[in-house]
Each structure stands twice: as C-alpha cells, then as structure tokens.
Structure 1
C-alpha cells in the first residue's frame, strides 16, 4: 500500500524525517534514514558503500536499532533522490515491524510517498 504526493505528518513522524534528512546532509551520502522503536527511541544512519560492506541507509538504521536492543519499530523514514524504496530496505523494516509505515522524502524533507513494510 502506498500513497504519493506531498504528505503532512504528525510531529513524531516529522521528527524521523528531519533526522533522516540530517543524516544524509551530514555525511553527503545518497540516502539518510531514521527509525523509531516502540519505546520512542530513534536511530539514524546513512547509506554505507565500502568495498566489503554495502547497506542502504534504512538497513543501517534498522541494524543500529537492533544492535541497541530494539525488538520492534513503529515507523521509518528515508530521504533519497530515488523514485522508490528498494525491496531490501523494506524487508529490513518488515523483519521488526510488518505493516509499519515507511516515509520516503525528497532532499527538502517533503514526504512524497508512504509505503507499508510488508513481509517478504
């Protein structure tokens, strides 16, 4: 399920979009992402492109959450120039939160699509 066009978010969802945008801008990466766990904690990351390791920003943010003890997520956000979120990124969210909203935002931080993380 998805919706397109610029969307208005509640303050907690807007916060993770802002954090994702900040991660992208701080590192100059192709993508920035943020996730919120069920305790309200947030985790951010940027895409990783090393010779021995490649992660999308969303995969890296989910990994940061899991490595900090999160067992479930409420929502996720990705700031990217891509026209769609890749399946591997959505699968990482669905591992912890099937049905969670994933907000795709442009470089300005405007949400252009909300996708539901579905199990593979």
Structure 2
C-alpha cells in the first residue's frame, strides 16, 4: 500500500488499516476492523453473522478491546465495500471514545473516508 493509498495516514493508523484488511481477508467476511487503544494495543475482528448474534466488524473489535480492559480508543479502522460507515459501527467507537478517528478503507486499503468527532473527511 503506497502513501497515497493510505491518504497520508501516519504509520500507526496505516497499521490498523492493514490489520483490518487482514482480518477481513483471513475470514472472508464482509468487513474487517481494527482498533488501537490508548495504551497502544490493537484488537482486530471481522463481521459476525450468526443466527443468534450479529455484529459489525467494528462493533466486534470494540467489544474485544472493552472485554480486554482497554481504557479508551485512539483510532479505529474498518475495511468494507459499503459506501458509508453504518451508524451502529460508528456508535460503538463513539461510546468508548467520542473523539477517536475512524478510518474507512476499501479492500485494497485505500482510505475512502475518515470520521473525526462529528465530521467526515
């Protein structure tokens, strides 16, 4: 992934995009996500689509961070083919970290959008 594909992301944000791509590719899921907590640890997840449980990849990654005791989030990334990030995914991040950047990338890792504290770039 070139610097231009990453949309000028810093190396730590580029890393979570790469991890999100890997989670999606590994499982063949609709989405992959990764979050970085305020201690610098990362958590990855893919879409969960079971008859009794449905989570977006970003919801699952946030749940993994919370269940591991993450004190907060610095940033999140989701790799998806969707045109926009769904409200439930963004809400999961905002519940834990209202100001965290949420990066949305396509399957190649090219950044499509970045959500920051009430704005989209």
Give the TM-score, by structure 1 length. Answer: 0.91
**What is the CA distance between 1:54 and its match in structure 2?**
0.1
CA shift digits 1:8-37 (9 cap, x unpaired): 200000000000000000000000000000
**Runs of 4+ in structure 1 over 3 Å off:** none
Q: How many residues are treated as equivalent by the alignment?
A: 114
What is aligned with 1:21? 21
In angstroms, what is the RMSD of aligned CA positions? 1.3
**What is the CA distance between 1:99 and its match in structure 2?**
1.5
Query: d(CA) in 2 for partners of 1:15 and 1:8?
Result: 13
Counterpart secondary structure, 1:8: coil
2:78 counterpart of 1:86: no
CA shift digits 1:50-82 (9 cap, x unpaired): 000000000000000001000200000000000
Query: d(CA) in 2 for partners of 1:6 and 1:40?
Result: 20
Give the TM-score, by structure 2 length. Answer: 0.91
Query: d(CA) in 2 for partners of 1:106 and 1:8?
Result: 15
What is aligned with 2:49? 49
